[in-house]
């Protein structure tokens, strides 16, 4: 597979504000009571100490299901923190959100995040009947939060059928990609429609190629003929 260099995205992550309240009791009964009250138990770690708190379930779900990566400005009983969503846990049977982990952002400290992948442009391979395959929806990126993009753009406007973009083709300033370098992120694969189109083009070209020698042979003098005799004018009567 021929590889093409990808483009990078410099859009910085947006921030969303969420207010919560400190948990006075940390236990199973308290967690159940919070969930019954439409609250989600949470923990903030990565700083000097862990902070146990709860936030409204609608605010937590909105954060989790947004298509873009965001930082979170937490207001926990009047105390403010900057954080990122680290993990969400769901009930095995109901799929209800039951717990959320946040990682506190510390200046100068690197974090690891899964950043969404987006494609830009139109592939000539797709126009020719190929199929665009996005094999990775996110890339694992490590670095300072202030340099993290909200998504990673990959230009596909030069990708022909059989070509793709690997992790090693993507360059992000001040950030490190943790995925294996030889993994393909996006590619254009051949389809039946593309093969059929190529076959039809080949069939259309074959008669034309066969006709060319025949036309040349018909235009040439017959074998053994005297070119001078052919060119001699008819005798006068």
pLDDT in tens, 7-38: 555 567 888 999 999 998 888 999 999 999 99
Question: What mean pLDDT do residues 64-72 have?
Answer: 88
Say which DSSP state 121 is in.
S
Dig out the tokens for 218 from the structure.
Answer: 């018909």
CATH class of 2-9+112-189: mainly beta
Query: CATH assignment of 14-106?
Result: 2.40.240.10
Instruction: Give the pLDDT of residue 191.
Output: 82
pLDDT in tens, 119-134: 999 999 999 999 999 9
Question: What mean pLDDT do residues 65-85 have?
Answer: 92
Domains of the chain: which residue ranges? 2-9+112-189, 14-106
Chain mean position to CA 171? 14
Question: What mean pLDDT do residues 54-75 have?
Answer: 92
d(CA 118, CA 120): 7
Q: Is 180 helix (H, G, I), strand (E, B) or coil?
A: coil
Reported pTM: 0.71
Q: How confident is the model at residue 230 (pLDDT cuts 50, 70, 90)?
A: very low
pLDDT in tens, 42-63: 999 999 899 999 999 999 999 9
Question: Which residues share a beta bridge with 24?
Answer: none
pLDDT in tens, 178-214: 999 999 999 999 887 656 665 565 666 665 555 556 5
Instruction: Give the pLDDT of residue 214.
Output: 55
pLDDT in tens, 78-121: 999 999 999 999 999 999 999 999 999 998 899 999 999 999 99
Say which DSSP state 161 is in.
T
Identify the helix (H) or strand (E) that includes residue 79: strand 79-90
d(CA 88, CA 59): 13
How many CA atoms lie within 13 Å of 208's alpha carbon, on the beta-carbon side?
5
Q: Which of 149, 113, 134 is nearest to 184 (CA)?
A: 134
């Amino acid at each position: 597979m021929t590889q093409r260099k990808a483009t990078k995205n410099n859009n910085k992550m947006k921030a969303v504000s969420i207010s919560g309240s400190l948990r006075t009791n940390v236990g199973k009964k308290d967690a159940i009571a919070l969930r019954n009250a439409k609250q989600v138990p949470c923990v903030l770690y990565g700083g000097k100490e862990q902070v146990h708190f709860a936030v409204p379930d609608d605010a937590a779900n909105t954060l989790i299901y947004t298509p873009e990566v965001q930082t979170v400005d937490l207001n926990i009983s009047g105390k403010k923190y900057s954080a990122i969503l680290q993990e969400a846990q769901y009930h095995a049977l109901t799929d209800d959100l039951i717990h959320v982990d946040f990682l506190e952002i510390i200046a100068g400290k690197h974090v690891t995040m899964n950043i969404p992948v987006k494609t830009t442009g139109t592939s000539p391979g797709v126009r020719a009947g190929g199929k665009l395959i996005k094999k990775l929806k996110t890339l694992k990126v490590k670095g300072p939060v202030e340099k993290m993009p909200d998504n990673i753009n990959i230009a596909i406007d030069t990708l022909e059928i059989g070509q793709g973009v690997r992790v090693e083709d993507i360059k992000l300033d001040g950030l490190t990609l943790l995925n294996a370098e030889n993994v393909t992120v996006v590619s254009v694969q051949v389809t039946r429609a593309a093969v059929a189109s190529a076959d039809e083009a080949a069939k259309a070209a074959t008669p034309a190629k066969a006709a060319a020698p025949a036309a040349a042979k018909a235009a040439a003098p017959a074998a053994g003929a005297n070119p001078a005799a052919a060119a001699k004018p008819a005798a006068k009567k």
